[in-house]
């Protein structure tokens, strides 16, 4: 079994402004960099292999947490969901302007997709391909990604259809530990790990 620790990148200006980021390549802001420097990974992940989305907010987060840039493995399949025409919009304003339309789109769950964007189902399909390759590597992995990828991993592990709330913290400074079988099947081991914590989740010590 392979261990995979998924965590979201640090904060950006667009996060602070409530904007939809998607695959727009927004860097960390100064507050985000300061925040990431205070994060502490679980001790068992100290020597795990580092992977990240190629978007600069994820790359910079990984490096600030100790990843060697020369060995950091980047993969487009770890990018945030493509929010299409909604990228750059302020979410509260978008909801106010397109409330009923937005609710109908969100009601589709895994098949919701903005105009010219990507659905969660499409994201989970690309993530599943990455997981299959990760399983073949047989190396424990720390993965810096995005909120959509965190949701995709939870969907693949549990069958969540995104039509109801999930017990998953998708904010900054949280991580989620899964085990990965040789066939690429993902199993939750410990969700909602505070990155300030120094102790491993109960029953898991690699």
Per-residue confidence (pLDDT) for residue 99, from 0 to 100: 85
Is 9 part of the annotated catalytic residue set? yes
Both structure tokens of 172: 């900054």
User: Against a cut of 0.95, is the pTM above it?
Assistant: no
Residue 76 lies in a domain: yes
Is 9 inside any structural domain? yes
Confidence of residue 195 (pLDDT cuts 50, 70, 90): very high
Domain with 116 in it = 2-194
86 and 114 Cβ atoms separated by less than 8 Å: yes
Exactly one of 9, 51, 172, 176 is catalytic; name it.
9
CATH code, domain carrying 78: 3.40.50.1240
Q: What is the pLDDT of residue 41?
A: 96
How many structural domains comprise the chain?
Answer: 1
**Average pLDDT score, the chain:** 93
Rounded average pLDDT over 38-49: 96
Residue 116 lies in a domain: yes
**Structure token digits, residue 42:** 């679980």
Establish if 206 belongs to a structural domain. Answer: no
The 10s digit of each residue's pLDDT in 131-188 is 999 999 999 999 999 999 999 999 999 999 999 889 999 889 999 999 999 999 999 9
Band (pLDDT 50/70/90 cuts) for residue 201 is very low
Domain-located, residue 52: yes
Mean pLDDT of 192-206: 58
CA 46 and chain centroid, separation = 19
Catalytic residue among 49, 60, 80, 189: 80
| pLDDT-wise least confident of 67-76, 140-149, 156-165, 195-204 | 195-204
- In the DSSP assignment, the letter for residue 12 is B
Cα–Cα distance for residue pair 7/171, rounded to 1 Å? 9
> Diameter of the chain by CA atoms?
49
pLDDT band of residue 20 (cuts 50, 70, 90) is very high
Q: How confident is the model at residue 196 (pLDDT cuts 50, 70, 90)?
A: confident
Which DSSP category does 72 fall into?
-
In a domain, 159, yes or no: yes
**Total residue count of the chain as it appears in this document:** 206
Has residue 26 been placed in a domain?
yes
Answer yes or no: is 16 within a domain.
yes
Closest CA to 71 of 132, 139, 146, 152: 139
Pairing of strands 174-180, 2-8: antiparallel
- Helix crossing, 120-137 with 147-158: angle to 10°? 80
Decide the pairing of beta strands 73-74 and 2-8.
unpaired
């Amino acid at each position: 079994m392979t261990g995979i620790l998924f965590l979201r990148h640090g904060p950006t200006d667009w996060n602070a402004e409530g904007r939809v980021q998607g695959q727009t390549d927004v860097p960390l802001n100064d507050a985000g960099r300061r925040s990431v420097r205070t994060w502490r990974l679980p001790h068992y992940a100290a020597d795990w292999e580092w992977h990240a989305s190629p978007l600069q907010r994820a790359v910079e987060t990984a490096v600030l947490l100790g990843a060697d840039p020369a060995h950091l493995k980047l993969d487009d399949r770890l990018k945030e969901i493509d929010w299409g025409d909604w990228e750059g919009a302020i979410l509260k304003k978008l909801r106010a302007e397109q409330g009923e339309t937005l609710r109908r789109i969100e009601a589709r769950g895994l098949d919701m997709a903005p105009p010219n964007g990507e659905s969660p189902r499409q994201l989970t399909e690309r993530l599943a391909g990455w997981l299959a390759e990760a399983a073949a590597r047989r190396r424990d992995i720390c993965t810096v990604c995005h909120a959509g990828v965190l949701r995709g991993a939870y969907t693949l592990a549990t069958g969540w259809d995104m039509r109801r709330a999930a017990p998953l913290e998708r904010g900054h400074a949280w991580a989620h530990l899964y085990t990965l079988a040789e066939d690429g099947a993902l199993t939750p081991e410990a969700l909602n790990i505070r990155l300030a914590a120094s102790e491993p989740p109960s029953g898991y010590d690699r």
